[in-house]
A and B are shown apart, each in its own frame.
Chain A
Amino acid sequence: MQRGTYGMPPANSPPLHHPVPQHISQVPNLRSPPPPASQNGGYGQQSPPQGQQAQNPYMAQFGGFMTDPTAQMGLQMGQSAMKVGQDYVEQNFNRYVNVSALKHYFNVSNSYVTHKLLLVLFPWRHRPWSRQQTHSSDPSARGTEFLPPREDVNSPDMYIPLMAFVTYVLLTTLIAGLNGKFEPQLLGMTFSNASVVIVLELLVLWLGRYFLNISSESQIYDLVAYSGYKFVGVIVTIAVAASINRGKGTGGWVGWGVFAYTFMANAFFLLRSLKYVLLPSDNAPGNPGVQIIARGQRSRRTQFLFVYSYVVQFAFMWWLTALNFTTGVPGKAKSGR
């Protein structure tokens, strides 16, 4: 018994009955207790036999040895170690993912979301495609600052692509479930499949950025955001095809017709939107944030834009919609996983 190491019998049992944590920001219950305090294991085994009806063994432990200075020091060390670890992780995470730039993409409103969804599915009547820039920000900040999605319909956001991605995973699983072919691993498979599509698209975008010298950081986030809009078309295709085909996959005239329509809408939307991202040509003069692009690069970027909008999106959208699980699931089950 570990209590013998203290040489002092714990004669005060009332603190054990009312465990009151004396530190506010303690180890949260989701995480394991701090490692230096190795007496936790011993106390954790002892507290249930004592008939403790505390919420969890940790509270009983804290009430038990809080009065001990060694344990308090151990707890302090654990807390400071965890705080240092958290700061380290946050710092490194902020180095890889620019969190403040990402916040700009989630600054959306309801009217923006509905307007943008209609725009993705029916982009042909929309007239001005250029993003509006804020003239109120000081010119010394970063050059051009674009308006957030809340105020500008043409601004890309990451809320719609993220929600569309999740909806796509849930929708395909739902349709498979309505077919009677639901397995719990279907959720994971669809998620990994869509993630593979996203990773490949990011690879295409990264290669395109490398070969075309698209330098600024926000532009790559714009491209990533625009690449997620195809999920909206894919969802519409799958939903319509499933409701008409009685869930037999995306076959038949209706399915591929809707697919062709959403593919053309998506391609047009991307062409119009990315024209201003990749080929900034006639902005306001004296704008320091926009680089002048050489003529050869312009043509190369235009080619990339066309190939990207049509071929790449076609391949990816087809991959996403053609995964009808009537033939997919038995095949995977037979492959011995």
Chain B
Amino acid sequence: MASLFFPNFGGLFQASILVVNAIAILSEDRFLARIGWGTSQQSEPSFGGGMQDNTSVKAKMINLISSVRTLMRIPLIFLNLLIIVWAIAFG
């Protein structure tokens, strides 16, 4: 598949899978918590109020990363398998 400059859907698909892989393998406790982007550090001080800072860019980014990680772990296994089989079979 053309991989340098992707003017076709196959290249776009591969590039997007790579990017989503990169987001999905970020470790929660070893990396995200260290730089303060962990999901448990968001609503820590206010347990009874439920007032999360949900609209700032940082909070939304954290939400996006954690949701990608939880949702896409299992489909990513199959998608990566697909790409590996394709790459082995068709070069």
Binding site for B on A (CB under 8 A): 189, 192-193, 195-196, 199-200, 210-211, 213, 297, 300, 323, 332, 335-337
A192 touches B8 (CB 8 A): yes
A196 touches B60 (CB 8 A): no
B7 touches A189 (CB 8 A): yes
A332 and B11 alpha carbons, distance in the complex (Å): 13
A196 touches B91 (CB 8 A): no
Is B40 at the interface (CB under 8 A from chain A)? no
Q: Which residues of A contact B6 (CB under 8 A)?
A: 196
Output the least CB separation between B58 and chain A (Å): 10
Output the least CB separation between A305 and chain B (Å): 15
A200 and B5 alpha carbons, distance in the complex (Å): 14
A192 touches B9 (CB 8 A): yes
Output the least CB separation between B87 and chain A (Å): 13
A195 and B60 alpha carbons, distance in the complex (Å): 28
Residues 46-60 of B, flagged 1 when their CB comes within 8 A of A and 0 if not, give: 000000000101001
Q: Which residues of B contact A300 (CB under 8 A)?
A: 57
Is B33 at the interface (CB under 8 A from chain A)? no
Q: Which residues of A contact B11 (CB under 8 A)?
A: 196
A189 and B7 alpha carbons, distance in the complex (Å): 7
A336 touches B9 (CB 8 A): no
Is B12 at the interface (CB under 8 A from chain A)? yes
Q: Which residues of B contact A200 (CB under 8 A)?
A: 12
Output the least CB separation between A137 and chain B (Å): 31
A189 and B11 alpha carbons, distance in the complex (Å): 12
